């Protein structure tokens, strides 16, 4: 009996020891896991802090006209950024950082990157002048635009843009079917295409119907060649032209309003190279006209038809001036910048 009792006691002792050892083992495992988790969390916090330090907000003060879209950016990011605004009635922003200005007033945009918050002040107000671009973000930007092509000169212009790391916006016609491949090249090399006119006949200004018939034809032509639609438009002669008076009184005012209602963006210019003159202009005249501007957002009018050889020759000097003066080269696609002139008809 005593022997049996001793065996029971021994078994109990062994079980207790095993339980205690097991508890210590679990505790040691949990401690080890906790330590690993703490080390991992510390490393992650250090990583996030390092990434936060690499991020920067290039635009911290933005003044913009109502009804525009502007892409806010946080440079140097490698993870998702959470965007928000203090007042969605003044300006809203989506998860890609695209801000939509709505009503006049001031608000703040916040970009949260991990735990760090970057804040930009946004003021929405109407421009004082119809010719104002409606965007002030502290960034000097130039938009090289070319009308009436494509032609053999378009290829030369694209070569120059590529050599200089620049881009442009080409408002095309359908007058040179042999240059279809150039339209594809324009998009392939990072520039943009806008609709100018299918015919470039000013008789398109006879009525709304004749204008939109022509616009639809050039739109379809661009789509058939490039596979891409465009909502960028430049009127032949610009919105301020007076030749349209010969065809219909008040037509430009009507067309400008119609385009915006239909979701198009029409663009004039605030800097002209002067190459639209009938006579071929000297290179030095074009360079002088196209540079020296005080515009923070410069939309330059040039032409890329076959006869505009001096425009091609002047372009490298024009690009150099803007580079030397700290301008960024952009296309008119996906920009809040607007360039309108006073409508005269």
In 3-state terms the chain splits into helix, strand, coil percentages (rounded to 5) of 40, 20, 40
Shared-domain flag, residues 73 and 119 = yes
Distance of alpha carbon 154 from alpha carbon 169, whole angstroms? 11
Same domain, yes or no: 113 and 246: no
Task: Confirm whether pTM is higher than 0.75.
Answer: yes
Extract the tokens encoding 298.
Answer: 């410069």
Supply the range of the domain harboring residue 117.
Answer: 61-124
pLDDT tens, 275-294? 998 789 999 999 999 998 99
The DSSP annotation for 277-341 comes to SSSPPPHHHHHHHHSS---SEEEEEEE-STT-HHHHHHHHHHHHHHHHTTPEE--STT-------
Predicted pLDDT of residue 185:
97
CATH code of the domain in which 84 resides: 2.60.40.1080
Q: Is the pLDDT of residue 32 over 90?
A: no
Six-digit token string for 209: 């119907």
Of the candidates 93, 124, 155, which is a domain's last residue? 124
Residue 158 lies in a domain: yes
Tell whether 153 and 287 lie within a shared domain. yes
Domain assignment present for residue 98? The answer is yes
Residue 1 pLDDT exceeds 60: no
Residues 140 and 226 both lie in one domain: yes
Tens digit of each residue's pLDDT (9 = 90 or more) over 286-322: 999 999 899 999 999 999 999 999 999 999 999 999 9
Q: Could you say which of 73, 99, 124 is where a domain stops?
A: 124
Which CATH number covers residue 264?
3.20.20.370
Residue 3 included in any domain = no
- Domain boundary, last residue among 83, 102, 124: 124
Closest CA to 204 of 193, 194, 215: 215
- Name the residue with higher pLDDT: 160 or 51: 160
Domain-embedded: residue 257: yes
Cα–Cα dist 215/209, whole Å: 10
Q: How far apart are CA 78 and CA 280, in angstroms?
A: 51
Is residue 22, in this structure, part of any structural domain at all? no
Structure tokens at 187: 């998009």
Task: Output the average pLDDT for the chain.
Answer: 92
Per the domain annotation, does 314 fall within a domain?
A: yes
Asked if residue 11 is part of any domain, the answer here is no
Residues 59-95 as b or e (16 or more Cβ within 10 Å = b): beebbbbbebebebebeebeeebebebeeeebbbbee
Q: How many structural domains comprise the chain?
A: 2
- Considering the domain architecture, whether residues 75 and 222 belong to the same structural domain is answered as no
pLDDT in the model for residue 151: 95
317 and 183, same structural domain? yes
pLDDT class of 15 with cuts at 50, 70, 90: low
């Amino acid at each position: 009996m005593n022997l049996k009792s001793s065996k029971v006691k021994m078994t109990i002792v062994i079980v207790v020891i095993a339980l205690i050892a097991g508890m210590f083992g679990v505790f040691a495992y949990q401690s080890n896991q906790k330590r690993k988790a703490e080390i991992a969390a510390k490393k992650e916090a250090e990583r996030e802090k390092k990434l936060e330090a690499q991020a920067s907000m290039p635009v911290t003060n933005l003044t913009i006209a109502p009804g525009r879209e502007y892409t806010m950016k946080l440079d140097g990011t490698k993870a998702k950024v959470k965007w928000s605004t203090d007042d969605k009635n003044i300006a809203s922003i989506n998860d890609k950082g695209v801000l939509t200005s709505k009503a006049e007033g001031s608000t703040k945009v916040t970009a949260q990157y991990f735990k760090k918050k970057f804040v930009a002040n946004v003021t929405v107000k109407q421009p004082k002048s119809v010719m104002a671009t409606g965007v002030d973000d502290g960034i000097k930007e130039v938009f090289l635009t070319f009308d009436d092509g494509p032609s053999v000169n378009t290829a030369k212009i694209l070569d120059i843009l590529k050599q200089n790391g620049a881009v442009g916006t080409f408002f095309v016609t359908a007058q040179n079917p042999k240059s279809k491949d150039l339209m594809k090249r324009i998009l392939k090399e990072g520039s943009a295409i806008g609709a100018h006119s299918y015919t470039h006949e000013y008789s398109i200004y006879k009525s709304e119907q004749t204008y939109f018939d022509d616009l639809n034809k050039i739109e379809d032509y661009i789509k058939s060649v490039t596979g891409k639609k465009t909502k960028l438009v430049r009127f032949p002669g610009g919105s301020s032209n007076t030749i349209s008076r010969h065809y219909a009184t008040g037509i430009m005012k009507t067309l400008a309003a119609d385009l915006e209602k239909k979701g198009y963006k029409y663009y004039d210019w605030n800097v002209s190279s002067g190459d639209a003159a009938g006579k071929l202009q000297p290179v030095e005249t074009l360079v002088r006209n196209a540079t020296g501007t005080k515009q923070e957002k410069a939309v330059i009018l040039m032409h890329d038809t076959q006869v505009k050889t001096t425009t091609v020759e002047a372009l490298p000097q024009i690009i150099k001036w803007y580079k030397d003066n700290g301008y960024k080269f952009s296309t008119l696609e996906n920009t809040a910048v607007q360039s309108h002139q006073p409508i005269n008809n």
